Amino acid sequence: MRELCFAELFNKMYGSILIVALLLLCLTGIVSASQITVSGLVYGLWDVDTVLVTGDIRIPPDNELTINAGVTVLFDGPWQMKVDQDAKIVAVGTPSAKILFKPLREGDTWRGIRMEMCCGLSILDYCDFKRAAVAGTGDTANGGAIYLHKSSLAIYHCTFDSCSADDGAAIFCTASSSPFITDCSFRCNNSSADRAVLSCDSSSAPLIQADTFMLNEGYSIRCSDSSDCVIRDNVLIENGGGICAVASNPLISGNRIESNKLDGINGFGINSLIEFNYIAENFHGIWLLKSNPIISCNLITNNDASSDTSRLSGGGGIQCFLSDTTRTTIIEHNVINGNKAVGGGGIGGFFSAATIRYNWIANNFAVEQGGGIYFNSTPLNGLIVEHNTIAFNSAGTSGGGLESPKVVLRHSIVYGNTPDTSQVSSSTYSSFIVDSCDIQGGWTGEGTGNIDIDPLFRDIAHGDFYATSGAITTLPLPSCGNEIPDSMEVWIDPTATAVIDQPPQNLPTDFVLSQNYPNPFNPSTTIALSLPYRTDVRLEIFNTLGQLVRSLCNGVLPAGETYIVWDSRDGGGEVVSSGVYYYRMTAAGRTLTRKMLLLK
């Protein structure tokens, strides 16, 4: 056999190397743009760029499917993912590498994820769900993107976009399902008008917290059939409606419910706590039927139900309709301002028992009766109105401040309302009991200790309804928080009818933190502060590094001047070193700071 020359040997070796290199390059290309196709049973790990779903898929019992960050799951048709009993799905993306579930083609839909008695360790984190849709009757019509039956899981940082279903356009929970749904975004989803984007029934108990709902059709959140949802710190803006609760007792706290087409909160048969919410520019702020909740520390403003002629009594801010007269709705510590309705611009009621106390009810408007409050029928002594400021409301016909056939009215200011000839109005004055109130135009009906003195509100243009008349004391109650103004407790001095309507002498008109004296000092100094009214105050000492040295005061102080001594000791009782220190006063949302010098 002829021997190969060096050149021929080199060419053969080079060719083999080139072929191997090309093969490796091709394999590398396949890995970097990898795709798998699935249908039927699925489990194990998806760690590829794209998963193409060509039929219904199912995670079988006692198995787990893990989907890594950055995977896109495409549904080539109206297919569905099902998670069986005791199976688990773990789909954890990142902010920069989300997991995406969507149809393969623009304009198509897929049929979401259905979870049946699945493992509580399932998690969906940083997942995007797009154009999931279901239709049909019964359960098959609910839960566009996620349907939960006797299932619990964590749903964090997920987005739901353009999903649809009769109820639960994005998520539907039933049969004691209790998911955590936190920091998610719901946008442009579509459910029926009286249903919701996120819906729960049959004793489910989800935590719905810090989520955002925008531009959705139907209500944002619905709880029904004994579902004790916790709905906290969410933002619900420009949806078909805010929160709907039916025969359930949700905790509704700290939410921003704004500019929704229907009611901010709509309740039927609920006895829950509604607190610390900002409810603005909806239809009714809160509309209740056969319900007796506690409504506390909310800012309810600029809701407009003046076009609603179908619901008796109106109630632009709060409406109580046919509540259980053996119990009572409690409305306390709220600011109810600038709302509109046919009757009861601020609060309206029809045959309902209510206790309305410690509220600012101002600048509301009724087309007909009761600019501030209107109850057109109440059980005997079923309406108690006490310690409120009811001011500058207006009504088209009567009862600028308040109108009701029966009421117990105590320690309240009813002043500046229109028409001014009927600040308080009733068809049966004999059922009115009015004690220790300041009513413009006076009160000649049943009751004692009533006066007619201008309360001299401090700054009505900015909603400051603290009275400065010597006959009236308005005490700020503990702060509602969540940017909600403090409500007030009103006390009337019935012996002060001859008091000249001037602010008390020597009462500060603003918060003042004076320069300490002496300054420089050793070893102690006195700090003077002045308050225009009784309120919570913190007075703290800081060093030049911004570190807290000592808290000198953290509690309620009276109106006027207060003097506090600092003995140059820290919170542990040790004497501090010489140098510059700062003292800071925080009161009623105001912060004032001054500098002082310790010399030894």
- Out of 198-212, 405-419, 554-568, which region has the weakest mean confidence (pLDDT)? 554-568
CB atoms near residue 575 (< 10 Å): 11
Handedness of CA 493, 498, 502, 507 (dihedral sign): negative
In a domain, 23, yes or no: no
pLDDT, tens digit (0-9, with 9 covering 90-100), for 122-137: 999 999 999 999 988 8
Q: How far apart, in Å, are the Cα atoms of 70 and each of 31, 48, 100, 353?
A: 14, 8, 8, 56
Taking the C-alpha atoms of residue 468 and residue 489, their distance in angstroms, rounded to an integer, is 14
Q: Count CA atoms closer than 13 A to 596's CA, side-chain side.
A: 27
Instruction: Please write the tens of the pLDDT for every residue from 88-108.
Output: 999 999 999 999 999 999 999
Q: Which amino acid is at 313?
A: S
The two three-digit tokens of residue 101, written as one number: 């579930």
pLDDT at 31 over 50: no
The single-letter DSSP state of residue 83 is E
Q: Do 440 and 450 share a structural domain? A: yes
Domain with 135, as residue range(s), is 34-262
Q: How far apart are alpha carbons 600 and 329 in whole angstroms?
A: 62
Which of 505, 535, 554 is the last residue in one of the domains? 505
Say how many CA atoms lie within 13 Å of 353 toward its Cβ: 10
Same-domain status, 75 and 97: yes
Residues 396 and 462 in one domain: yes
Instruction: Extract the tokens encoding 128.
Output: 């995007």
Q: Is the pLDDT of residue 503 over 80?
A: no
Same domain flag for 500 and 525: no
What amino acid occupies position 132? A
CB atoms within 10 A of CB 126: 20
DSSP secondary structure string for all residues of 153-196? -EEES-EEES-B-SB-SSEEEESS---EEES-EEES-B--TTSE
- Exposure of 465 in the CB half-sphere (CA atoms within 13 A): 27
Instruction: Answer whether residue 270 is part of any domain.
Output: yes
Both 117 and 223 in one domain: the answer is: yes
**Residue closest to 189 by CA, chosen among 124, 258, 143:** 143
Confidence of residue 600 (pLDDT cuts 50, 70, 90): confident
Band (pLDDT 50/70/90 cuts) for residue 452 is: very high
SS3 (DSSP) at 8: helix
Q: Which tokens is 442 given?
A: 């006076």
Of all residues in the chain, the percent with pLDDT exceeding 70 is 90
* Neighbour count for residue 234 (Cβ, 10 Å): 27
Cα of 192 vs its chain's centroid, Å:
23
In a domain, 339, yes or no: yes
Q: Buried b vs exposed e over 487-500: b needs ≥16 C-beta within 10 Å?
A: bbbbebbeeeeeee
Instruction: Provide the Cα torsion 441, 445, 447, 452; round to 10°.
Output: 10
Q: Using DSSP bridges, classify how beta strands 590-598 and 579-587 pair: parallel, antiparallel or unpaired.
A: antiparallel
Kindly report, residue by residue over 413-427, the tens digit of the pLDDT.
Answer: 999 999 988 899 886
| Average pLDDT in the chain | 88
Q: Are residues 254 and 351 in the same domain?
A: no
**CA-to-CA dists, residue 371 to 316, 346, 367, 390, 419, angstroms:** 10, 7, 8, 9, 9
For residue 15, being part of any structural domain is answered with no
Q: How many domains does the chain have?
A: 3
Closest of 570, 528, 535 to residue 555, by C-alpha:
535
Cβ 422 vs Cβ 402: under 8 Å: no
**Given pLDDT bands bounded at 50, 70 and 90, which one contains residue 477?**
confident
Give a yes or no: residue 560 inside a domain. yes
Strand ranges (E), 68-109: 72-75, 81-83, 88-92, 99-103
CA distances from 526 to 517, 572, 578, 592, 594 (A): 5, 20, 17, 16, 13
- pLDDT above 90 covers a percentage of the chain that reads 67
438 and 292 together in one domain: yes
457 in a structural domain:
yes
Domain check: are 369 and 473 in the same one?
yes
Give the helix/strand (H/E) hosting 465. strand 464-467
The four Cα atoms 68, 74, 77, 78 give a dihedral, to 10 degrees, of: 50
Q: Are residues 371 and 464 in the same domain?
A: yes
For residue 475, list its beta bridge partners.
Answer: 489
Is residue 8 a part of any domain in this protein? no
Does the structure show a pLDDT above 50 at 478?
yes
Domain boundary, last residue among 482, 505, 528: 505
Among 505, 525, 543, residue at a domain's last position? 505
Taking the C-alpha atoms of residue 331 and residue 353, their distance in angstroms, rounded to an integer, is: 11
State the DSSP string of 300-339.
EE--EETT--SSTT--SSEEEES--TTS-EEEES-EEES-
- Of 221-225, 240-244, 348-352, which gets the smallest average pLDDT? 348-352
C-beta of residue 170 within 8 angstroms of C-beta of residue 136: no
Name the pLDDT band for 379 (thresholds 50, 70, 90). Answer: low
Q: Is 141 helix (H, G, I), strand (E, B) or coil?
A: helix
Same domain, 235 and 303: no
Cα separation of 59 and 55, whole Å? 13
Clarify whether residues 557 and 473 are in a common domain. no
One domain, residues 254 and 281: no
For residue 479, being part of any structural domain is answered with yes
Q: Is pLDDT above 50 for 211? A: yes
CATH assignment at residue 545: 2.60.40.4070
Lowest model confidence (mean pLDDT) among 13-17, 32-36, 127-131, 558-562 = 13-17
